[in-house]
Amino acid sequence: MGSVVSLVKSPSFKEAYDSLVCKLYAGYGAYHHDRVNQLIHVVFVPSILGSLMGLFLYLPIEGTQVSFLGMTPTWGWPALLHILLPLYADLPGGAVTLAMYIGLLKGSAEMFKFLGSNEAWKWFLFIQLFSWVAQFYGHAVHEKRRPALMDNLLQIFAAPFFVTLEVLFALGYKPWLKKACEARVGAMLKELRALDAKKKQKN
């Protein structure tokens, strides 16, 4: 007996390949193709986000009467509006990314309360610096390619969505999309390697 899911027609390979979610994934994925580097980012992208949210707790929006899950908004919250793009590109994947953001916001707030304002910032800063060092290590030793943000700083905003999709794909999420995304990453890798070869020839 066929499942309900099997009755839903998946987009064609070309449709998936040309989709916004595939473009977002490949733009970041071409710089994160090595498996070890991917795992490093799966661990440390969330820790960078969470510790950054924690540091922004020292910059609350004064005078606001709004709260969310008992948390007072900070000046870091507006930057989280970039989640709208992942939600538009792929609603389930974007929703999981949004859930991660909420969890990290709440976790950093609870850590702030537990440690106190005099100690929390030290831990947030340590986690932030250690996480960045870990990621640069992944690029230098395993990926052997500069981070995506060095070519396009806006790629920083693509990192959480990429990490979410990596985990979801590993769990079997939308295999047709995974196949298209990996193909697009492969195509971008060829372009990057061709550019690298041209640079070497010039030098």
Single pTM value for the model:
0.87
pLDDT value at position 83?
94
Separation between Cα atoms, residue 47 and residue 64, nearest integer Å: 27
pLDDT at 149: 81
Supply the pLDDT for residue 41. 96
CA distances from 142 to 89, 114, 127, 148, 160 (A): 30, 37, 21, 15, 20
Task: Say what the pLDDT of residue 6 is.
Answer: 39
What distance in Å separates the CA atoms of residue 12 and residue 122, rounded to the nearest whole number? 50
Please tell me the distance from the alpha carbon of residue 140 to that of residue 100, in angstroms, as a whole number: 28
Q: Give the per-residue pLDDT at 3.
A: 39
Which pair of structure tokens corresponds to residue 149? 């943000």
pLDDT at position 203 is 66
| Helical ranges in 83-174 per DSSP H | 84-89, 91-115, 117-137, 159-170
Q: Which among 19, 182, 89 has a CA at the least distance from the CA of 97? A: 89
CA angle 163/92/29 to nearest 5° reads 30
Query: For the chain, which ranges sit under pLDDT 50?
Result: 1-8
Instruction: Determine phi and psi for 172, rounding to 5 degrees.
Output: 95, 15
Measured in whole angstroms, the distance separating CA 38 from the mean position of its chain's CA atoms is 11
Q: Which two tokens stand for residue 178?
A: 């995974």
Q: Tell me: the pLDDT tens digits for 77-94?
A: 998 899 999 999 999 999
Position 11 scores a pLDDT of: 80
- CA distances to 57, 184, 202 from 69, in Å: 15, 39, 56
